[in-house]
Structure 1
Amino acid sequence: MNLIDEIKTRKTFAIISHPDAGKTTITERLLYYSGAIRQAGTVKGKKSGKFAKSDWMAIEKERGISVTSSVMQVYYGDYHINIVDTPGHEDFSEDTYRTLMAVDAAVMVIDSGKGIEPQTKKLFEVCAMRGIPIFTFMNKLDRDGREPLDLVSELEEVLGVDAYVMNWPMGMGKNFLGLYDLHNQRVELTHPEDANGEDFLPLNDAGEVEGDFAFKKSSIYTQAMEDAQLLREAGNEFDLEAVSRGKLTPVFFGSALTGFGVQTFLDAFVDFAPSPAAQTTQKDELVPVDSEELTGFIFKIQANMNPAHRDRIAFVRICSGVFEPGVDVTLQRTKKKIKLSHTTQFMADTRETATHSIAGDIIGLYDTGNFQIGDTIYSGKTEVQYPALPQFTPELFMKVAPKNVMKQKSFHKGIEQLVQEGAIQLYKTFHTNEYILGAVGQLQFEVFKYRLKEEYNAEVVMTPMGRRIARWINEEDLDQNLSSSRNLLCRDRFDAPVFLFENEFAVNWFKDKHPEIELTTLF
């Protein structure tokens, strides 16, 4: 198989949703149907002890939430799939936004009982800005929910995207008979025992199931046929080019918890989702996927995925070329040459050494402190730099100090490694070198505190500072006498000077008094 044909087998996508819509559960089902795991887990699996494979962190298992993106590779038929399960909670949006820069498509999971929720809308808008193809899965049909027509209408009106219905529910909750599959021209039954053990029954030219089956006498089946006829006549046309531009979203219904409809969705997804394409550099130059030069960018750093070894993994999206162990690359930011010998890839809940990876694949580099989020690596002589990844300016701030002064070493090590992940920002006060943490949401502080204790045995005391406005200044404008309680002068972890202003009034007062000093939102 030549390189281009091999690249066509890659499907790299993120799963996005509002919290509790079923995002991690559908990830488990996709792993199960690929054969990567024998039994699908759930996010809240405390009684059975069987947790989701993508929720590897202790706090995720304890609290039943996803707080970090996780990457898994699986094989499905002839396809090599890279799945990224993202946090749904808005406090971890920055991790999700960066992850969306590293994928070629997105699966949007919607709770059929709730419809479009705020975080779903935000994440969709990020995908829309990048033109990422979106495949929609209306989840939780095993429960009673909203009318399917209302859900599709809301999808189009609120998100401003055209929808193409691939299958249609025949009832829901206790009266869920199955799916009327417009795309495959068949009916998929929840109770195949009612149809001589057949899971799928074909539709004739009139759009009906032939044969004498009890479910055909149900008004639910009749209503589904009428709805399907309406969709055929008044619905959007299927247009693969519009799908690839993110203008048309194929819509699937099903239940991730029971697995119903998930394999049908996966079969269609691998057929229609795009394979990796040429990436644009910061200079607006295209790097072909089959270039001889290995290139990629780091979109995530994660500490302690293996607590026994205190490792740190830098996740790289490969954009072109072929990775093989021992390849020499240049780190664009430092121009430093690095040999990539110690690498890994994640196969469900196991790790394997990456031996051959190409455009679209995501591999992990064991990092000793060389890499930062947003770094570009390249193997050739021509410098390549991919665009910068999104950064959020923190809004909430906490002073942090070790509870036990004898644990200073563990405290400093934990702080240093966890802030490199990019979810929490670290500052030091200019005069006293006190540690201050900045984040976009309160939950980030709770996770940070938990991980310091569990992963580094360092208990901390956090003192809230409330909301502050961070503004950076140039080094030549630095005057330590400008620091006050209203505009606290600090340095960030890259040693750049930054003011933490008490409020907008304090910012404006400072601007009026010091018009010669330029304030910026990010350094």
Structure 2
Amino acid sequence: MNDSQKSLQEAVKQRRTFAIISHPDAGKTTLTEKLLLYSGMIATAGMVKGRKGRKAAASDWMSMEQERGISITSSAMQFPYKDAIINVLDTPGHEDFSEDTYRTLTAADCAIMVIDAAKGVEKQTRKLFEVCRLRNIPVLTFINKMDMPGRDPLELMNEVENVLQIHSYAMNWPIGTGKDFHGVYDRVKNEYVFFSKTSHGGSQKAAIARYPANSPEAIEKIGEDIQEKLLQELDLLEIAGNPFSLEEFLEGKVTPVFFASALTNFGVEPFFDAFIDLAPCPHKRFANLLDGKEIEIDPVENPFSGYVFKLQANMDRRHRDSMAFIRICSGRFERDLTVKNVRLGKEVRLSRPHGMVAGERTTLDYAYPGDIIGVINPSHFAIGDTISLNGGFKFKPLPQFQPEIFARLISKDIGKRKSFDKGVLQLTNEGAIQLLRGYEREDDLIFAAVGKLQFEVMQYRLKDEYGVETILTPLPYECSAWIKGDMKTFVKLTNSTLVVDKQGNPMALFTSQWEKQYCIKQNPNHELVDVLV
């Protein structure tokens, strides 16, 4: 290994690239804010659900996100944390934006699953965990809001195992819950870890005090009743709990569980420290040669390669541009590098590369495997594009999920048709909404989404970013499927509609699940698929 490869290898070992997944309101974006706080990137942590006068969360840069207190877009941020370089992908928690979240998860090497201690494993958490399982992404579990009334910790551990079908191992255990939440017992180091609130609540780092096991000072601090309950639960975990091994965690067979409160910073820093030790650095990825043969791309041994997992329009209002987010998979990236776009079959110069922190751009000269770079996108990139120095292969395609809500959308002002068309093109390119065209009439446009809120965001952004007010007319279709097979012999049902997606793939739209199942029976020589890969 030459000096250049050794330097690259060291850079790869430093990287931790992960996504944070959860059901809405579990505390995902709050946890991201606290990571920024503990890394020194921000001096004061903002609150996601900001009351009047409070600071908006730094990772939610869109005005609609700040108004509603939810994450709508994925944001990518890089910063140092102690001896590591963190690349965090903050994903939308709302299920209506699951497509964006699924695509973003492909760029992660690891995931942090945030669970509300009062609500346990919720619907969207289950969906996102299944995506991690499908892609063999190791998952750490952060059980949040332990300072609030919640469910029994043992019950929560059992639910993680039973609902998600994965072994769990408590890396720490709560000392009291709700208003009696004093801290955690570190099962790895066998010590008590106490936290105390600062005068600024959760906006500044919590003070930490550590005591060895059986410390009289610790027992006096928490009281005999809580101490007795703690020892009983720790004994039960030792007898009936699962063992933990790093190998099984990296294989996705066991999830290490941490109890904490992101809002008050109780347990946040010990969690991040453990994460750095446990989470994997960038590793080999599978790709296909142009003849279909599968190969492995090594982050150190192979020259530069990456793929586009997200497009985002109008991050800079002054320039009305579009940013392509690229996950680097191998080799060292250098500014102004000329690469091959496999889909287009031509070379593209990656000029003006950016790193991102909460919507603020910083120009990059170099980047390494695991890093996420943003490149201004003058129509050179589409979601899923593979780019590489040498070309000749493509990374696995990103999945497309069937839309379930359909509508027509027109501009209120006919004179703003040009702005309307430009906005629609940008938003459909970045995957914010799907645009379908009639199978026989190309000018018959139907907009499709996984969730209703996607339409609200589209209308909001068309008005806010392009000055176009729109009229939305819902359509009666409830589900859809891509059609594989000879369209000349496909039997179309009376109430269904045939369309093609942006890539020209034929789809059928149905008014009910029953109609869809009946169509499948009527077309035994065709395959109707819900996920296109």
TM-score clears 0.5 = yes
Give 1:308 deviation, angstroms.
2.5
CA distance in 2, matches of 1:144, 1:212: 23
Distance in 1 of aligned mates of 2:400 and 2:302 = 31
Read off the aligned partner of 1:7 and give its amino acid letter.
V
Contact 2:111 2:140 in 1 (8 A): yes
Distance in 2 (alpha carbons) for counterparts of 1:293 and 1:432: 42
Alignment map for 1:451-466 (pairs within 5 Å): 451-466=461-476
Rounded Cα–Cα distance in structure 2 between residues aligned with 1:120 and 1:215: 36
After superposition, give the CA deviation of every residue in 1:354-386 in whole Å (9 maximum; x if it has no partner). Answer: 211111111111101111111100101x51210
CA distance, structure 2, for counterparts of residue 422 and residue 170 of structure 1: 45
Pairing 1:135-174 to 2, within 5 Å after superposition: 135-174=140-179
| Equivalent residue in structure 1 for 2:223, among 217, 225, 230 | 217
**Structure 2 equivalent of residue 287 of structure 1:** 297
The share of aligned pairs that are identical, in percent, is 46
Tell me if 1:351 matches 2:361: yes
Alignment correspondent of 1:61: 66
Question: Is the Cα–Cα contact under 8 Å of residues 292 and 322 in structure 1 kept in the other structure?
Answer: no
Alignment-derived partner of residue 41 in structure 1: 46
Matched letter for residue 247 of structure 2: E
Question: 126-135 or 184-193, which moves further after superposition?
Answer: 184-193
Which residue of the other structure, out of 337, 344, 354, is the alignment partner of 1:327? 337
Q: Which residue of 1 aligns with 2:234?
A: 228
CA shift in 2, pair 1:411/1:484, >3 Å: farther
How many Å separate the matches in 1 of 2:527 and 2:166?
40
Q: Which residue is equivalent to 2:455? A: 445
Give yes or no for the alignment of 1:79 onto 2:75: no
2:274 aligned residue? 268
Measure how far apart 1:144 and its partner are: 1.2
Distance 1:84 1:152, change over 3 A: same
Q: 1:488 to 1:234 in 2, by over 3 A?
A: closer
1:22 matched to which residue of 2?
Answer: 27
Q: Could you report, residue by residue, the CA deviation over 1:454-494 in whole angstroms, capped at 9, with x for unpaired residues? A: 11111110101032544556898479xx9997343444334
- Residues 1:408 and 2:417 are matched in the alignment: yes
Give 1:258's match in structure 2, choosing from 243, 264, 268: 264
Task: Provide the alpha-carbon RMSD of the alignment.
Answer: 2.7
Normalising to structure 2: TM-score of the pair? Answer: 0.90
Matched with 1:376 is: 386
Distance 1:46 1:198, change over 3 A: closer
SS of 1:47's partner is coil
Shift of 1:519: 6.2
Q: Which moved more, 1:129-138 or 1:232-241?
A: 232-241
Aligned CA distance change for structure 1 residues 507 and 130 (closer, same or farther; 3 Å): closer
1:165 partner amino acid:
A
What's the TM-score once normalised by structure 1's chain length? Answer: 0.92
Q: Deviation per CA, 1:219-254: give whole Å up to 9, x if none.
A: 113322332233233322220101111111111111
**Distance (whole Å) between structure 1 residues aligned to residue 526 and residue 234 of structure 2:** 63
Report SS of the residue matched to 1:276: coil
Count of aligned pairs = 515
State whether structure 2 residue 286 is matched by structure 1 residue 277.
no
Query: Does the CA contact (< 8 Å) of 1:37 and 1:348 recur in 2?
Result: no
CA shift for structure 1 position 280: 0.8
Task: Map Cα deviations across residues 326-367 of structure 1 (whole Å, 9 max, x no partner).
Answer: 111100111110011121111345211121111111111110
- 8 Å Cα contact 1:315/1:362 also seen in 2: yes
Kindly provide the CA deviation profile for residues 385-420 of structure 1, in whole angstroms up to 9, marking residues without a partner as x. 100111112121001110111111111111000011
Cα distance in 1 for partners of 2:55, 2:30 equals 12
**Structure-1 separation of matches of 2:361 and 2:283:** 27
Give the direction of change, closer, same or farther, for the CA distance of 1:149–1:181 in structure 2 (3 Å limit).
Answer: same
Distance 1:261 1:408 in 2: 53
AA paired with 1:110?
Answer: I
Unmatched runs of 5 consecutive residues or more in structure 1: none
Deviations 1:234-280 (A, max 9, x none): 32222010111111111111111111101100000001110011111
Q: Which residue of 1 aligns with 2:407?
A: 398
The Cα shift of 1:502 comes to 3.9
Residues 1:337 and 2:347 aligned together: yes
Alignment partner of 2:422: what SS? helix
Read off the aligned partner of 1:374 and give its amino acid letter. Answer: G
1:12 maps to 2:17: yes
Gaps of 5+ in 2: 1-5, 199-205
Distance across 2 between alignment mates of 1:139 and 1:212: 23
Cα deviation 1:41-66 (Å, max 9, x = unaligned): 11111412411111111111111111
Report how far residue 500 of structure 1 moved: 3.3
**2:96–2:451: 8 Å Cα contact kept in structure 1?**
yes
Confirm or deny: 8 A CA contact 1:208 1:225 kept in the other structure. Answer: no
Checking the alignment, whether the CA contact within 8 Å between 2:435 and 2:448 is kept in structure 1 is yes
Distance in structure 2 (CA, Å) of the matches to 1:495 and 1:122: 28
* Structure 2 CA distance for aligned equivalents of residues 474 and 225 of structure 1: 59
Distance 1:46 1:414 in 2: 32
Output one character per residue of 1:10-37: Cα deviation in whole Å (capped at 9) or x when no partner: 0000000011100000010011101111
Aligned 8 A contact 1:28 1:52 in 2: yes
Q: CA deviation at 1:515?
A: 8.0
Check 1:451–1:475 CA distance in 2 against 1; reply closer, same or farther (3 A cut): farther
Partner of 1:422: 431
Inter-partner Cα distance in structure 2 for 1:475 and 1:230: 56
Deviates more, 1:288-297 or 1:229-238: 229-238
